[in-house]
Chains A and B, each alone.
Chain A
Amino acid sequence: MKDKKKAEKIIFKTEKEVPLMPMSLGSMLYNKTGAWRNIRPVIDLGNCIQCGICWKYCPDVAIYIENEFPVVDLEYCKGCGICAEECPTKCIAMVEEEK
């Protein structure tokens, strides 16, 4: 189920083909949910104290720690703003996406 093709719409012919557990048929590696986003987090790394709270709180696991600083994975970030809300130094701004 890892190739992109299978992430497209599939209609099974019999119940036996339907997976037991209700789950995405394609891998989420190809289902880029970042397109849902209206506002994006922008991190001011100059004020970041490397506490890791944004990384811990992100409900979509879309913040990684790279070279000890947080990086937002915009392919999956849905722009919920929890990281900005929880950041103790308020160094994450939520900025409007431009069409």
Chain B
Amino acid sequence: MKKVIMGNHALSWGAQLGRAQVIAAYPITPQTQVVELLSEMCASKTLDAKFIKVESEHSAMAACIAASIAGARTFTATSAQGLALMHELLHWASGGRNPVVMGNINRAMAPGWSIWTDQNDSLSQRDTGWIQFYCSSNQEVMDTVVQAFRVSEELMIPSMVILDAFALSHTYEVVDIPDQDKVDGYLPPFKPPVRLTPSDPHAFGGLTSPEHYFELRYKLQKDMEKVPDLVEETGREYEKLFGRYLGQVEDYRCDDAEIIFVTSGTAGYTARVGVDQLRQDGIKAGNLRIKMFRPFPFAKVREILPRAAKVAVVDRNISYGHHGVFYQEVKSALYGRDHDRPPVFGYITGLGGRDIMPETFKEMARMTLAKDKPEEDITWMGVKR
């Protein structure tokens, strides 16, 4: 069934198709419609889930964690300040190995107060032990929620499905919504290896001595390292069933490219238009959209980027006192590869919802191709100075 829906509703549909059993959420602009539709789905029984109203995002995540420990498939959604308030519980979910799936709408952090998009909210949570998927279309949002349940529950690691405020959250697109029974074939019911049960009660998340804490962290990292292969495998299986491949990255015209952009989110969608226009002008551009940011897709990045003579990383975020976060991580992935490492240029664009246009990509290509090496560590595109 094809429907024209907003990005936020694509999250809700994903949760419904995934048969989420417990939803605890607190509304925040620009996430509100996710929760509104889910509460309607629960009320009309199209989704057989317990909807828990809570007093904050901190409590929302706490409720999801508890429900997950009890063996329920859980979903929530938030944005920006709400995600920041959840921070402590994000560690609880990943450290406790509770496969909660959460939508996050990328909204710039206050102050200055903003409701428009940038990635600093979710990238500030990169070290919490959550899988992170950055989406660039409503279809991808819905599909990824279903895949995220599968990946998360197999490895017992929570996932964040991320989309840009307004540029995606409030943008209406055609989404092909698959049949429920087909999704059920792809995503079996959640069966955790251990769960809270009155017949054999255990305390979860209690005091862990130095004898075992270190090993818990080792195990989380080792399982994180299994995510790329599992995303590949479940993404191919999804493609067989539904005709849409869900991978770690999207490689667009990179094969013969002289310059490859590294992008994420909706900027990765715009980049394809920029790439096409550049090619019309005789410049062989390509775009590597990083969809899965955590764990970092090292193999894909190392395989694709050395095809080009130059790489331009486009960051809609800034790690103050360092660089854009994707720029840092791409450089780190290529470090030590002396023969195989194109110069990497870092651009900061679109903070606080400023538009990133195809022209922005043309300008970045011009600047990147004009220089042998980046003169500034990072270049701020379009800042008024």
Contacts and interface: CB of A to CB of B under 8 A. Distances in A.
- The answer to whether A and B belong to the same complex is yes
Interface residues of A, number: 16
B206 A22 contact: yes
Contacts of B98: 21
A24 B206 contact: yes
Contacts of B200: 1-2, 27, 29
A1 B194 CA distance: 12
Instruction: Classify the secondary structure of B's interface with A.
Output: loop
Contacts of B201: 27-29
Contact of A18 (B69, B156, B215): B215
Instruction: Classify the secondary structure of A's interface with B.
Output: loop
Contacts of B206: 22-24
Contact of A20 (B194, B202, B205): B194
A22 B96 contact: yes
A18 B203 contact: no
B208 interface: yes
A15 interface: yes
Contacts of B375: none
Nearest to A21: B97
B95 interface: yes
B219 A18 contact: yes
Nearest to B156: A20
Interface of B: 69, 95-98, 156, 193-194, 200-206, 208, 211-212, 215-216, 218-219
What 7 A-B pairs have minimum CB-CB distances, sorted nearest first?
A15-B215, A24-B203, A28-B201, A18-B215, A21-B97, A24-B202, A23-B202
Interface of A: 1-2, 11-12, 15, 18-24, 27-29, 31
